[in-house]
Amino acid sequence: MAKTLTPQPRRKYSRRKLGKYRPRGKAFKPGNAFGLATRFRKGVSGCPGGRAKNTAITHALRELLAVKITDENGQEFTAAELVAMRVVEHALNGSLPAASEVTDRTEGRPRQTIEMPGSRDDPLLQILEEMGEEHKLLGPPPKPREDQEPH
């Protein structure tokens, strides 16, 4: 025989209204020192070392870019200088990504403009501005006379 589930009747009032509400746990008393030993002190960071500055790959790349390389003319360059020269060479040959990289690294990335609704070109904003100007010219609407009924 299958068991039938009957719904529980809903309470008309909450436990708080019935006076049966009990907060969970005990409230701290004034002057309580619980947890003082484990709290962060003022001026002391919770992570004194901070985030790791270099990962293993970053460290390896920095070492490789610092290696001195002698070219066929006997001039010494670091690997980083050779990479920079290659990027500039590609930019001079017409590579747009390389040219973009050079300008981003030397002059900083350009600011991106974001079109927000309500710009000066927005027709709705222009209509509202015109209405505001008309309101300034005409003044507030006249008050209804007491003998007239409002619409």
More confident residue, 117 or 57: 57
Q: Give CA–CA dist 137/131, Å, rounded.
A: 10
- pLDDT per residue over 123-135, tens digit each? 777 788 888 888 7
CB atoms within 10 A of CB 115: 7
- What's the whole-number mean pLDDT along residues 27-42? 74
pLDDT at 23: 64
Q: CA-to-CA distance for 8 and 70, rounded, in angstroms?
A: 86
3-state SS assignment for residue 149: coil
Q: What is the pLDDT of residue 131?
A: 83
Nearest to 69 by CA among 82, 59, 58: 82
pLDDT, residue 38, reads 73
For residue 66, the model assigns a pLDDT of 93
Residues 127, 134: Cα–Cα separation, whole Å: 11
Cα–Cα dist 62/149, whole Å:
85
Each residue of 75-123: pLDDT tens digit? 999 999 999 999 999 999 999 999 999 999 888 888 887 766 656 677 7
Q: Please report, in angstroms and rounded to a whole number, the separation of the first and last CA atoms in the chain.
A: 71
pLDDT for the residue 32: 75
In the predicted structure, residue 51 carries a pLDDT above the cut 70 = yes
Instruction: Write the pLDDT tens digit of every residue in 16-25.
Output: 666 666 666 7
Query: CB neighbours of 66 closer than 8 A, spacing ≥ 6?
Result: 78, 79, 80
Q: Are 78 and 65 in contact (CB under 8 A)?
A: yes
